[in-house]
Amino acid sequence: MIHCHKSQAPVSAPDKEVLQPSIQAIDQLNYTIASDLRRISAIWDVLPGTIFMSSEYLTCLQSAPAAGMEFKYVVIHAGQIPIAKLYFQIVHFNAARSLGQEASIEADKCSYFSHLMKSIKLTVARNIDFHTIVCGNLLLTGENGWVFADHLSQKVREDIIEVAYAQVRDELKKTHKDEIAVSLLKEKYAEAKLSAGFITTGKWHEFRIQPNMLLNLEVEWRSFEDYLNSMHSKYRMRAKRAQKKLGSIVVESLSEAEIKENSAVLYELYLETIGSAGFNMVNLGMDYFYETKKNMPDCFHVKVFRKDSEIVGFFSYFINNEVLVAHMVGFNSLLNKTHQIYLNMLYQLVQEGIERSLERINLGRTAMEIKSSVGAYPVDMYCYIRHRNRIYNKFAPNLIDLLSPQEDWLQRHPFKIEERAEI
């Protein structure tokens, strides 16, 4: 269903000189809201962005949605000209479920204090159960919530965000009687953080999440061997030992037909791996890998690890311009311990990026230490959250601190000479 309206709270119009010549100064903005992107794909793609904000990718996610996930797509117009688009996911958030294995308490495997803290966390988590509007994509790391026309000022962009949120909430009141309790803006790099005025006026809380792990690919790395030779000897030997531990396990790419044929196996391995994560808000739909490969055959790739013809692990990735973006993985946890499957996946991603002559690899969050051991470095990212209840909103930062996964890790420095370009 599509709804077209004028904004109820007019957005401050930018000065004429900052507008493109074809756009006149405006007093109000028009917006279009849709629950099905296919209905508005023509206007959605007018504003360029990364592949993750294209109708091509978002339709894949809509065709195989994560369990219980809904979508809203908002296009903002100045007259007839699209000047912004925002992507929203609506999920039912249950903190106890999202904690996964961390929520299970095994007293014989932890100290009394650790056991007590887990008990407190689980008790609190059981009472956190609500619907959430997320501007962004819970399945990706990065700035994938909005695209603005270049000429718009920071103030106008932030006004548009608030207007879009208000309009989406009004639409959802028609179908969600309990109303949406929490709003989440996901996620921004430090240089693109939202202003203090926006945070204070909107009663948002800014918080830092686990860093994104990036690896810059040096121009002199013309082969994987060049990459290894740039490392200190202990890291180079570690890589060769890991490759040797694979033994008879072979790595191969899957075609679209092969992904469809092995969807159940891939999904089972994905669930096994995601279940051991400290915190996870959503699970993929089973057909997500197939739908994505079918619709984005040149951008999306899945590779598997086979042992005696059986798939024992897989990793997936996107090619987004000059960046390789690591995506979902899954592996047999027992074989991972003996064959270092996950570490070999990271090396495979590095090799893939070098062979494609790309500039950077985005390895995403989690498992920071092992990712740093292959050369990735951390980049801080920030999210923004608020609760509709004023009292609950006041204590939102405390709940975030309590529920956020804590990972003590040591940054590794594998290269002989480390020159990290600014992103």
- Tell me the domains of the chain and their CATH numbers: 2-180 (no CATH), 213-380 (3.40.630.30)
In this prediction, residue 332 carries a pLDDT of 96
Mean pLDDT of 222-245: 97
Residue 220 pLDDT greater than 80, yes or no: yes
Secondary structure (3-state) at 204: coil
Per-residue pLDDT tens digits for 108-150: 444 444 444 454 444 444 445 677 899 999 999 989 999 999 9
Tracing tokens 């959250």 back to the chain, one arrives at: 385
Give residue 404's pLDDT band: very low, low, confident or very high (50, 70, 90).
Answer: low
Q: Which pLDDT score is estimated for 418?
A: 59
What is the Cα–Cα distance from 29 to 326, expressed in whole angstroms?
Answer: 37
Angle, to 10 degrees, between the axis of helix 288-295 and the axis of helix 55-63?
150
What are the helix (H) ranges across 173-232?
Answer: 196-202, 224-229
Round to whole Å and give the CA distance between 10 and 49: 26
Residue (of 258, 253, 371, 262) closest to 305 by Cα position: 253
Per-residue pLDDT of 293-306, as tens digits, reads: 999 999 999 999 99
- The average confidence (pLDDT) of the chain is 84
Residue 148 and residue 47: Cα distance in Å, rounded? 8
